[in-house]
Structure 1
Amino acid sequence: METSKTGFAFDNLLITDIAAAQEVLGKIGWIDRIDLIIPDLHSKSHIIEQIENILPIGARLEHNSEKTGSMREMVSAFQLNLTALSLLALVVGMFLIYNTVTFSVIQRRPTIATLRAIGATRNEVFIMILVEAIILGGLGTAGGVGLGILLGQGTVEMMSRTINDIFFVTNVRTVEITWNVLIKSSLIGLLASLFAALIPSYEATNVSPVSALRRSHIEEKTRMALPWVSTIGALVLVLGGILLIPNWNLIITFSGVFMVLIGFSLLTPLVTLIIMRLVQQVLKRGFGLVSSMAIRDITRSLSRTSVAITSLMVAVSVIIGVGLMTSSFRLTVEKWLEDLLQADIFISAPRVASSVASLIDPQLVDEVQKVSGIKRILTNREVTVNANNIGIVQLFAVSADVAGNKRKYKSALGNVSETWEMVKSGGVVINEPMSVRFGLKAGDQIKLFTDRGGHSFEIVAIAYDFDVRPSVTIYDGTYRLFWDDQNISSIALIIDSKTQINEIISQLRRQLAGKGQVVIQSNHSLRRNAMLVFDRTFTLTIALQVLSMIVAFIGILSTLMGFQLERRQEIGLLRALGVTGQQLWKLILLETGLMGASAGLIAMPVGLVLAIILIYVINLRSFGWTLQMHLQTMEFFKAFAVAVSSALVAGIYPAWQLSRIPVIDALRSE
C-alpha cells in the first residue's frame, strides 16, 4: 500500500491472497488464524461454546481484547509518562504566569491605588486584574495550542520510531488533531493561567489605598507569612512522600511527585534566607559593601526574588532529576547488555521492527559449523504465544543461556547453574516487567497454550529485563516437545579467539552468501546499536529539559525586570550619591548571580530526590524496570552552571536599562 495514501500502520504492508502467501512462506495447507465476527445476540455465548468444542488440539478461541489489551497497557504507561513530563514543564510555566501578572501589577500599583482612593472596591480591582490575566492566558493558550500542533508534527516521526524500537511496528507520519485534545489543552492552559494569577491579583487588592503605594507593606506581609508558608511546604512534602508509598496507581504516584515539587517550592524562601546569611561574610571579603547591598536587596524583596529563585530551581531540578535518571538508566542498560550478551557473534534475519522476529533457515547451523574458529553454537527461537489470564507474551526458546554465569536474576529458586538445570527440566524464566505487571514470582505456575493444548510451567526465576513486553524463556528441547516448530530466529557464536572475530565474520559472510538474507554482527556492534536505540528513545526528554530551561529563563528575566523597576527611585538615589554605572552593573549582576546560585544549590537535593523517585518509583511502576542509581557529579555541576549563567544573562538587560536612566528621571515619582 502506498505511504502517501495511508500514512498509518498499513504502510510497507504487502497484501496478497492466501494461496500465494502459503507458497511464498512455505506454509502450504496451513493458516495462522481465522477472524470471526459474532453478532451480539442472546445466543452469543452458546455460539462461542460450540466453536470451542470443535477446535483441534493446540487451537483456542481468544477475544480480540486479549491481543490488544497488553499493547494498550504498555502504550498507556508510555503516554502517561510523557504527560507527566509535560506537566513538569507546565508547573514551571505557571511560575512564569505568576511573574508576568505580578510584573503587570507592579507597573500599575499607583494606578490601582488611585482607583481604590476614588471608590473602586477590592472585588472590582481583583476581577479587573483576573480578567486581564484570563484574556492574556487565552491568547497564550491559543498560541500554545498552535505551537503544540507544529511541535507535534515535528516530533511524530521521532515518537513513531521510539514505538517501533520498543513496542510494536507502526508508521504514523501525520498528526491527528481531535477536538478532545484541543479542548483539554485549552482548559488546562486557561485553568493554569487562572490559578497562577490568583495570588498576585489578591495581593494587589488586599491592601488599603495608602499602603498600596508602599512596597514595604507587601514585604512585611511576606515576612509574617514565611513561617506559615514553610510549615505548609513541609506538610505538603510529607503528604507527597506518603502518596509515593507503594501504590500501583500511576496517577496517585505522579500526584505525589508534584506535591513533592510544590513542597520544596514553598520551602525555597526560607532556604534562600539561610543561604544569604551563610554567604554574607564570605562575599564581603571579596566584594566589600556591594555584596552586603546585593544580599540585602534579595532578602528585603523576598516576595519577588523567591519566586524567581523557585521557578529557576524547579527547572534546574528537573534537569538534574531527568539527567540522573537518563544517565543511570543508560549505565544500567550498558551493564545489563555486557552481562547478557556473552557470545562473540550474532546471526539473525533482518527485522522490520523490534517486535517482529523473522526466521532463518535451520540448515544455516550446519553451514556455520563449517567455519573454523567457532567454539560453540547457540540457537534461539522467538515466537508469540498466549498465556492464561495474561494474553500475548514473547517466548524465547534457547539451546543454552547466552549470558552463562554472568546472568543476574531478581529472584530465583536456586543459583545460576541450578536455575539453568531447572529450565532444562521444564521450568521457565519470566522477565521482570511481566512479574511486576501480573504479580508473578518464582515458584508460581504459568499456563501457556501450546500446540498440544494448555500446559502449566513452573516459574523458576525472574530475570532483569528492559523490554516492556512480557516474555518467557524456555529450554529449546522443551519447546520442541510442545510446539511443532523446527525453525530458529537467531544464532549466537562463541569463538576460540576474540582476536579473530573480524576474520571469522568475513568467513561467515562468504559461507552464508546466497543462502538467505542474514545480519551478522559482532558483540560490540550489537551493543552499540542497542544503545543507539536507547539514545533515540530519550531524545524527547532532552528536548523537554531545554524547554523547561527556556521557560525558567523567561520567568527570571521578567522577575528581574519587575524587581529592578520597583527600585527605580532607589537606583536614582544611589546614582545621585555617586555610585557609578560600573558599580551599578556589579551590584545588579551580583544580585542575579546570587539568585541563580541559590536556585542551583537548592535544586541539587531536589533534583536528587526527583531522580530517586523517577528511578525507584516511576520506572518500576510504569514499566517494571529495576534501575541502579549512578550519581554523576557532572550533572550537578552542569545544572549549577546553567542556573548561574541563566540568571547572569537575564540580569544583563535590566542592568543596561537602569545604568542608562538619567538621575533626574529615576528620582521623579510622578
Structure 2
Amino acid sequence: AGGLPSVEAGRRIAVADIAAVQQRFDRLGRLTRLDIALAPGARQEAVAEDIAALLPAGARLSTPEAESRRTGDLSRAYRVNLGMLAMVALLTGGFLVFSAQSLSIARRRAAFALLRVLGLPRTGLFLQVLAEGAVLGLLGAAAGLAAGAGLAWSVLGLLGGDLGGGYFSGSRPALDISPGWAAIHASLGLVVALAGSLLPALEAARAAPALALKSAGQSGDPRRRPALLPALALGLVGLAFAFAPPVAGLPLFGYLSIALILAAGVAAMPWLARLLIAPLARMEAPVPVRLAAARLAGAPDQAAVALCGLVASAGLMAAMGLMVASFRGSVDDWLGAILPADIYLRVAEAETSGLDTGLQARLAALPGVGGLEARRSLTLRLAADRPSVVLLAVPVPGGAAAPDLPWRRGPVPAAPGETPVWVSEPLSRLYDLAPGDTLDLPLAGGRTPVRVAGVWRDYGRQFGALAMDRRDYVRLTGDAGANEAGLTLAPGARLPEVLQGVRAALPPDLAAQTEAAPAGEIRRAALRIFDRSFAVTYALEAVAILVGVAGVAATVSAQTLARRREFGMLRHVGASRGQILAMLALEGAFLGAVGAVAGLALGAAMGQVLIQVVNPQSFNWTMDTRWPLGLLGGLALALTLASSFTALLAGRSALSADAVRAVREDW
C-alpha cells in the first residue's frame, strides 16, 4: 500500500495490521511483544513488579535502557578490539617520532653543544626539543584526522560498517565525525609525539658540551653493560596482568599486559643487541663483517634506538599473525566438525514452520540421498538485559549419549529423568555454566529445567547457543518440524544432481526462502568472510612494518651523518668505498636480524596473550595455537633485507663527501 519513511538502507521490512498477520500466519491469540507506556506519576519499579506477576513463564520484562545496552553489547567487543588495533598503529607512530627526533638531535649535536656553551641551561634545551615534538604532534594529528576521515569515508563506501565481513550486508552507514572524539584522537597524537620526543630531549640535555663539540658518537662508555633489570621487571608485571580478570567484560588488563611486554622487549634491546652481536666481533671474518659487528657491539644504545621501532612493529605483526593463523585454523577445524553432511538446507526466518514431517520424509526418499538429519533452531531470551541465545534441537544417534560436537568439556551422562543440554563455550562463559549445572529454559510457554551435560566449541554465535536432543525438544514442545537439515549422499550419488533434486522437491512458497548448498561451499564462504574480516588487520600490520623500517632508516641515517669523520678515517687507512658500504649494509642486516629475532620472541609472547586472554575475554571463545612458520620466516627475512637496503642507501649519501674534508677538524 505504500513505502516506509526513514528506513535504514538495506533493511527489508514490511508493516501490516496485526490482526491480518495473526490470521494469515495462523497466530490468532498469540503475541510476541507488548510496549507499555506508564501513566503520569507512576513508578517504573512498582509497575514492573505488578506486570511481572501476570506474565507467563517464558516472557521477559525489559526497559528501553536495557534494550539499548543489549544492542550495544552486540558490537562492543568488535569496536573495542578494532580501536585497540588502531592504537597499535599509533604506538608504532610514536616510535617513528622517536627515531626522527633522534635523527634531528644527531644532526644538531654540535649546534646544541654551542648553545650550551653560550649559556642555554639544560632545562631550556630539554623544553626546546619537547616543543619541537609538540609541533610535530599537532601537525601530524591534524593531517591524521583529515586522512582518517577520508579513509573512513572510502572504507564505509567500499566495504560497509563491518569492513567487508558480511555481518551487516546491505547497509552503508553514513560517516559520523564527532568533534569530541576528534579532539580525543588529536590529543592522543600529541601525547604520543611528546612521549616519542622525551628520551631524545633528555639525551640532548644531558650531553657534555665539550665532548659533543668534538664527537657525535655514542656519549656513554661502550664498556658499560646495558641494564636488564628494568626489562625483566616490566615483563614480569605484564605477565602478571595477563592473569587478571576482565573489567566490565573487556580485556583491559590483557591489553595492558601486551603493552608492558612490548615495553620490556624494547627496554631489553641494548642488552640483547650486545649479546647477539658481540660474538661476531671476535670471530675471524672479512673486514666489513668485523667492522660492522664491532661498531654495533660498541654502541648498544645507538643500536637500541634503531631497533626499538623495528622490534615493536615486528613483534606486533608476529603477534597478530599468530593470533589470526590460530583463529583461522581453529575455525576451519570447527567447520569440519559441525558440517559432517554433504548438503545443508536452511529455511530463513522460520522458527515455527519450515520443513514439516511430510516434507522431511520426501527429502529423505529422494534418489541419491543416503540419510537426512533434521534440526530446529530458534532464539531464546535467558535474561532481559542480555542478547538472545540460540537453541539447537539436534538429532542424537541411537545409542549415543550426546551429539557429535567439537567438545571442550564433557560430555557427561545425565541422570535418569533429567533433560540434558550441551552449552556452547560463549554461553558457558557468559552465564557461568559448567557440566552438572541446572538451567531453566523458556519453552512452550513455561519454564523447563534442564541439566548441562557438556560444553562445546562454537564460533558462529558469539552470545551463546545450546544444543538439545531433538526427541526431547519434540516431547517438550510438540513441534516436530524443522528449519535446518543435513543430507548425506548415498554411495555413487553425484552431488550436483542430488542438489538439483532437493531444490525441485521444495514447495514453491518455501523454495524462495530456503538456502541449499554443499558443505564445502558453506565452508569456503565462511573462510572468505573470515579473511575479509581480518583484511584490515593485515593492512595495519603492513603499516606497522613500514613504520618500523622507516625508523631504522631514520636512525641509520642519523648515525651515518654523524660518522662522516669515521668514514674519512677508514678511507685514510686504506678501506675502500665498497668495503665501507658493505660494512653499512651488514650493520643494517645485523640490526634487522636482531630485530627479527627479538620481534618474533615478543610476538610469540604477545600472541599467546591475544589467544589465551584477549579473545576469550572479548568474544568468549578459545582457540588452539597454530604457528604460521612461513609468515614468521618471511617476516624475519624481509626485515633483514629491508634494514640492510635502507642502511646501504643512507651510507651512499654520507660517502659522497671527500675523505680529506671529513677529517680536517682533527688535524
TM-score, normalised via structure 1 length: 0.89
Greater mean alpha carbon deviation, residues 377-386 or residues 252-261: 377-386
- Is the Cα contact below 8 Å between 1:219 and 1:301 reproduced in 2? no
2:550 to 550, 554, 560: 554
- Is the Cα contact below 8 Å between 1:7 and 1:172 reproduced in 2? no
Distance 1:170 1:447 in 2: 37
Superposition deviation, residue 186 in structure 1: 1.0
Partner of 1:410: 408
Partner of 1:198: 198
Partner of 1:38: 38
Partner of 2:439: 446
Distance 2:543 2:351 in 1: 38
Distance 1:139 1:642 in 2: 31
Partner of 2:114: 114
Distance 2:100 2:211 in 1: 22
For the structure 1 residues 190 and 41, does the alpha-carbon distance in structure 2 shift closer, same or farther, using more than 3 Å as the test? Answer: farther
- Is the Cα contact below 8 Å between 1:319 and 1:607 reproduced in 2? yes
For the structure 1 residues 163 and 579, does the alpha-carbon distance in structure 2 shift closer, same or farther, using more than 3 Å as the test? Answer: closer
Task: Give 3-state SS (helix, strand or coil) of 2:655's partner.
Answer: helix
Distance 1:73 1:324 in 2: 27
Greater mean alpha carbon deviation, residues 539-548 or residues 295-304: 295-304
Partner of 1:626: 622
Distance 1:484 1:90 in 2: 57
Amino acid at match of 2:220: E
- Is the Cα contact below 8 Å between 2:100 and 2:554 reproduced in 1? yes
User: Which segments of 5 or more consecutive residues in structure 1 lack a partner in the other structure?
Assistant: none
Distance 1:10 1:583 in 2: 65
Superposition deviation, residue 136 in structure 1: 1.2
- Is the Cα contact below 8 Å between 1:380 and 1:488 reproduced in 2? yes
Amino acid at match of 2:210: V
Partner of 1:377: 372
1:506 to 490, 495, 500: 500
Amino acid at match of 2:464: P
> Superposition pairs for residues 51-90 of structure 1, below 5 Å?
51-56=51-56, 58-90=58-90
Superposition deviation, residue 648 in structure 1: 2.2
> Superposition pairs for residues 449-488 of structure 1, below 5 Å?
449-466=442-459, 467-483=461-477, 487-488=481-482
For the structure 1 residues 25 and 350, does the alpha-carbon distance in structure 2 shift closer, same or farther, using more than 3 Å as the test? Answer: same
Superposition deviation, residue 640 in structure 1: 0.6
Greater mean alpha carbon deviation, residues 648-657 or residues 313-322: 648-657
1:291 to 289, 292, 295: 289
Task: Give 3-state SS (helix, strand or coil) of 1:219's partner.
Answer: coil
User: Which segments of 5 or more consecutive residues in structure 2 lack a partner in the other structure?
Assistant: none
Q: Are 1:260 and 2:253 counterparts?
A: no
- Is the Cα contact below 8 Å between 2:376 and 2:392 reproduced in 1? yes
1:526 to 517, 522, 526: 522
Greater mean alpha carbon deviation, residues 391-400 or residues 564-573: 391-400
Partner of 1:303: 301
Partner of 2:234: 236
Task: Give 3-state SS (helix, strand or coil) of 1:660's partner.
Answer: coil
For each residue in 1:204-230, what CA deviation from the matched residue of structure 2 results, as whole angstroms up to 9, or x when unmatched? 112332133244784326764722xx2
For each residue in 1:478-526, what CA deviation from the matched residue of structure 2 results, as whole angstroms up to 9, or x when unmatched? 3345547565321111232265323211221232263522221112112
Superposition deviation, residue 7 in structure 1: 8.9
Greater mean alpha carbon deviation, residues 207-216 or residues 646-655: 207-216
Q: Are 1:326 and 2:324 counterparts?
A: yes
For the structure 1 residues 217 and 601, does the alpha-carbon distance in structure 2 shift closer, same or farther, using more than 3 Å as the test? Answer: closer
2:310 to 303, 309, 312: 312
Partner of 1:337: 335
Identity rate, percent: 21
Distance 1:260 1:6 in 2: 49
Greater mean alpha carbon deviation, residues 623-632 or residues 262-271: 623-632
Distance 1:332 1:235 in 2: 34
Superposition deviation, residue 135 in structure 1: 0.7
TM-score, normalised via structure 2 length: 0.90
For the structure 1 residues 642 and 159, does the alpha-carbon distance in structure 2 shift closer, same or farther, using more than 3 Å as the test? Answer: farther
Aligned length: 655
For each residue in 1:358-382, what CA deviation from the matched residue of structure 2 results, as whole angstroms up to 9, or x when unmatched? 9634253243134123232222222
Superposition deviation, residue 30 in structure 1: 4.2
1:387 to 374, 382, 388: 382
Superposition deviation, residue 67 in structure 1: 4.3
Q: Are 1:142 and 2:137 counterparts?
A: no
Partner of 1:490: 484
- Is the Cα contact below 8 Å between 1:375 and 1:494 reproduced in 2? yes
Task: Give 3-state SS (helix, strand or coil) of 2:380's partner.
Answer: strand
Distance 1:498 1:564 in 2: 72
For the structure 1 residues 485 and 128, does the alpha-carbon distance in structure 2 shift closer, same or farther, using more than 3 Å as the test? Answer: same
Superposition deviation, residue 80 in structure 1: 2.2
For the structure 1 residues 13 and 161, does the alpha-carbon distance in structure 2 shift closer, same or farther, using more than 3 Å as the test? Answer: farther
Greater mean alpha carbon deviation, residues 251-260 or residues 400-409: 400-409
Aligned Cα root-mean-square deviation (Å): 3.1
Relative to total residues, which structure has the larger helix share, 1 or 2?
Answer: 1
